[in-house]
Amino acid sequence: MEIKITRTTSPKEKPADETKLSFGKIFTDHMFLMNYDEGEGWHDPRIVPYGSLPMDPASMCLHYGQAVFEGLKAYLTADGHVQLFRPDQNMARLNVSNDRLCIPKIDEKFGVKAIETLVEVDKEWIPKSYGTSLYIRPFIFAADPMLGVHPAKHLIFAIICSPVGAYYAAGLAPVKIYVEQNYVRAVTGGTGFTKAAANYAISLKAQEVSEKQGYEQVLWLDGIHRKYIEEVGSMNVFFVIDGEVVTPSLERRSILSGITRKSCLEVLKAKGYKTSERDIKIDELVKAYDKGKLNEAFGTGTAAVISPIGELKYGDKVMTINNGEIGPVSRMLYDTITGIQWGVIKDDFGWTVRID
Ligand SMILES: *Cc1c(COP(=O)(O)O)cnc(C)c1O
């Protein structure tokens, strides 16, 4: 399929100060759109000037939340090239989400081509300083104008882009995390393993409660036993316990298979660290902490890459990890992965895709 490109005749002003970019507030000049209609399949891929989409108030996504998304970044490397980080993984995961939400699958290679074409069109929007990037948001939503509950027959696949600043403008600052005991995010058999928009809608309440207590994000426990650790907000979670790097396994299908998570495991294995993907009980963590064996904790995700956890609150217990400072494993992973993304470390893994 050919992507038809219509360039804007009135380009927007680009942000003057790259150090002041906050997450996802301004968007580039163009967007990608493609439609699905039953009988026709996905068709009419196009890049058009960024703008509002006409929407029927009965559009199914607005009522029943049949919508999925992805998130990845384009980076301007030290030597002036544009590259993406494992975009094939994002498109593969989009189809995993699609399948669970009864959304027709997309051609993954074509999805990557759509991302590359859009980034190429808007490449002047990629911020230039180290640590900054162009955040890319592919998403699909149901557009049928009717209120019956059934899988949509008409959908829209869109991609928008937003220049984002360095996540840690003031260095890698550890976050404070609240272990949630009342609300749950996902259960086996649900949609926890997908990037369904609805997963976020149901997480907002707990996020609000944690913020009121001075914590930045929520650490979710499993929805059934309320004792196994799942993930943090929009990040997977890792712990260094007695020298071993552990992260919850994906077997329960209630947590997202993060691409940063996967990349961290691959870096750790390549460098000879002891790693394990397994069940981690919150009690195990507390015991390790009490024995002084909880060496590090960190979240992983596209936005922050590595987010060191300086404090964990579980009930009345407040655990300060590694004196609230970033630990050596977190630091190594951050330096290695961001180094590959911004092209200052050779990519021996073959993860980066150069698009110019
Ligand atoms: C997107 C996301 C992550 C992180 O995934 P990456 O591919 O590493 O960006 C983790 N957990 C949830 C719930 C997410 O939505």
Band (pLDDT 50/70/90 cuts) for residue 170 is low
Distance 8 CA to ligand 1 centre (A): 32
Q: Which of 164, 185, 217 is the last residue of a domain?
A: 164
- Do the domain assignments include residue 49? yes
Asked if the structure places residue 352 within a domain, the reply is no
pLDDT band, very low/low/confident/very high, at 78 (cuts 50, 70, 90): confident
Q: Is the pLDDT of residue 295 over 90?
A: yes
- With cut-offs at 50, 70 and 90, classify the pLDDT of residue 71: very high
234 touches ligand 1 (CB under 6 Å)? yes
Report, as an integer, the average pLDDT of 313-324: 95
Helix axes 87-100, 259-270, angle to 10 degrees: 130
Q: Is residue 22 part of a domain?
A: yes
Q: Are residues 282 and 146 in the same domain?
A: no
| Whether 79 and 17 share a structural domain | yes
pLDDT exceeds cutoff 70 at 169: no
Looking at the structure, tell me whether residues 144 and 199 fall in a common domain. Answer: no
Pairing of strands 236-241, 82-85: unpaired
What per-residue confidence (pLDDT) applies to 254? Answer: 95
Whether ligand 1 lies within 6 angstroms of the CB of 87 is answered as no
- Structural domain contains residue 353: no
- On whether both 218 and 284 belong to a single domain, the answer is yes
Q: Which residue's alpha carbon is at the smallest distance from atom 15 of ligand 1?
A: 234
Q: What is the pLDDT of residues 126-167, one digit of tens each?
A: 999 888 999 999 999 999 999 999 999 999 999 999 999 887
In a domain, residue 348? The reply is: no
* Whether the predicted pLDDT of 266 surpasses 70: yes
Asked if residue 235 has its Cβ within 6 Å of ligand 1, the reply is yes
Of the pLDDT bands very low, low, confident and very high (cuts 50, 70, 90), residue 171 is low
Are 99 and 190 within one domain? no
Query: 17: domain range?
Result: 4-164
Residue 87 lies in a domain: yes
Long-range CB contacts (within 8 A, 24+) of 201-206: 201/65, 203/233, 206/180, 206/182
What integer is the mean pLDDT of 264-272? 98
pLDDT given for residue 22 in this prediction? 83
Distance in angstroms (rounded) separating the CA atoms of residues 265 and 237: 12
CA pair distance 198, 243, nearest whole angstrom: 37
CATH number where 180 lies = 3.20.10.10
CA–centroid distance, 333 to ligand 1, in Å, is 17
- Any domain includes 170: no
Q: How many domains does the chain have?
A: 2
- Mutational pocket test of ligand 1: of 234, 259, 263, 351, the residue with most ligand atoms within 8 Å of the beta carbon: 234
Residue that finishes a domain, picked among 143, 164, 185 = 164
Are residues 203 and 54 located together in one domain of the fold?
no
Could you tell me the pLDDT band of residue 120, with boundaries at 50, 70 and 90? very high
Residues 264 and 242 occupy one common structural domain = yes
Centre of ligand 1 from the C-alpha of residue 291, in Å: 31
Domain boundary among 115, 143, 164: 164
Same domain, 115 and 262: no
**pTM of the full predicted structure?**
0.97
Does residue 27 fall inside a structural domain?
yes
Q: Are residues 237 and 325 in the same domain?
A: yes
Q: What is the mean pLDDT of residues 43-61?
A: 97
Nearest atom (ligand 1) to Cα of 195: 15
Provide the CATH number for the domain around residue 9. 3.30.470.10
- Rounded to an integer, the average pLDDT of 71-83 is 95
CA 9 – ligand 1 centroid, Å: 36
